[in-house]
Amino acid sequence: MDTAAIRKEIEEMIKEKVRDIGRPDLYREPMVGFVSVDDPSIVNVKDIVGPWHDSPDDQLPGARTIIAYTVPFTREVAMDPGNAEFSGLTWSEAYVIINKNFELISKAVADYLRSKGYEAATVTATNDYDPSDPVSSWSHRTMACAAGLGKFGMNRILITSRGSAVRYCSLLTTADLEPSGPYEGPVCTGLDGGSCRLCLDACPVDALTRWYDGGKFDCQELQEVYHEKMLEELKVDTAGTCGKCIAVCPLAYIE
Ligand code: B12
């Protein structure tokens, strides 16, 4: 089987696995991107993200391609945090369910690649960091950006052609799969001299304007506060999430 056919099968597999979750009320069809480890944004990943970030070889010796995929939320999920007093219940439900499924989807793709004679390594979707220093050794949205799935916005969120209310995952393989082209979809209207400031103003703790000056810790703490409030006041034990800086974005949901 040639690598073009393998690439196509991987795309189909990821789409099918998301359909199999059986929640079209929460998720839309995923998008899949491929990037070579020789791409400058991967070669220079420690300069772009930070020195703590793994190189592809740290995750999988001999890695040749990174497969990034994104699962877009439905309009109902995308808008939920903006309407909710705390974090939205639907947003949190969508967050929890996809986290479990990311593990299953990536494992299925890795098993498939191994059945074709290649090595593959999966990377957990989230919660793989120390809260006292909230960064991961593998940034899925950086991989999605490098694989042409989107471009970063002012709220630090990656905007894709289906919006920014999406979730990301990625995995690595020793197979040489053809890279996707560059991103050509809509971009943040607050960057490059644009005037949009909706996400900055929507943050209840003003975290985005001072991200490296305590903002990211306040963002993290707010999610914990929401978790406790939802437990106490709504009697629902769900994930610590927020998402208000995404819901307010004019590009949160794109058809
Ligand atoms: C730690 C973490 C947090 C921490 C802090 C994050 C931080 N320090 O940036 C806290 C708890 C505060 C947090 C908050 C949130 N998080 Co969070 N988080 C993570 C986690 C586990 C690691 C992110 C990380 O290491 N960040 C370090 C920074 C440096 O990297 P980065 O932000 O990923 O990417 C930056 C660089 O690549 C850089 N960059 C700049 N220029 C360029 C140019 C190029 C070419 C490239 C390639 C990159 C690049 O810009 C990016 C943004 O600054 C990831 C999962 C993962 N493993 O990727 C989820 C993740 C980033 N979180 C996610 C989400 C949804 C959220 C929240 C909305 C909460 C929620 N779940 O409701 C908020 C949003 C806050 C915000 N506006 O950024 C999603 C993002 C979805 C999206 N649409 O972008 C992720 C990807 C989880 C997932 N699997 O989907 N998170």
**Nearest protein Cα to ligand 1, atom 67:** 243
pLDDT at residue 129 greater than cutoff 90: no
pLDDT at residue 107 greater than cutoff 90: yes
For the whole model, what pTM was predicted? 0.95
Pocket test residue of 35, 77, 142, 213 for ligand 1, highest count of atoms within 8 A of CB: 142
Burial class of residue 211 in the structure, from the number of CB atoms within 10 Å of its CB (0-12 exposed, 13-18 middle, 19+ buried)? middle
pLDDT at residue 72 greater than cutoff 90: yes
| C-alpha 139 – ligand 1 centre gap (Å) | 7
**Distance (Å, whole) CA 248 – CA 81:** 9
The mean of the pLDDT values for the chain is 95
CA 159 to chain centre: 10
Q: Which atom of ligand 1 is nearest to the CA of 168?
A: 90
pLDDT of residue 233: 83
pLDDT of residue 110: 98
Which of 172, 175, 179 shows the shortest CA–CA distance to 60? Answer: 172
Q: In the predicted model, what is the mean pLDDT of residues 50-67?
A: 97
| C-alpha 131 – ligand 1 centre gap (Å) | 13
Q: 70 with 183: CB under 8 angstroms?
A: no
CA 211 to chain centre: 19
Q: Which helix (H) or strand (E) holds 12?
A: helix 3-20
pLDDT at residue 131 greater than cutoff 90: no
Q: In the predicted model, what is the mean pLDDT of residues 6-31?
A: 98
Q: 145 with 197: CB under 8 angstroms?
A: no
The one-character DSSP state at 185 is S
**Distance (Å, whole) CA 222 – CA 207:** 10
- Residues near ligand 1 (Cβ within 6 A): 41, 48-50, 95, 125-126, 129, 134-136, 138-142, 145-146, 152, 155-158, 164, 166-169, 216, 219-220, 223, 241-243, 245-246
Q: In the predicted model, what is the mean pLDDT of residues 133-142?
A: 93
**At 28, is the pLDDT very low, low, confident or very high (cuts 50, 70, 90)?**
very high
**Distance (Å, whole) CA 158 – CA 80:** 19
| C-alpha 119 – ligand 1 centre gap (Å) | 27
Beta bridge partners of 172: 66, 121
Beta bridge partners of 72: 166
pLDDT digits (tens, 9 = 90+) for 17-27: 999 999 999 99
Q: For the CA atoms of the chain, what is the radius of gyration? A: 18
**Nearest protein Cα to ligand 1, atom 53:** 156
| C-alpha 118 – ligand 1 centre gap (Å) | 29
**Nearest protein Cα to ligand 1, atom 51:** 156
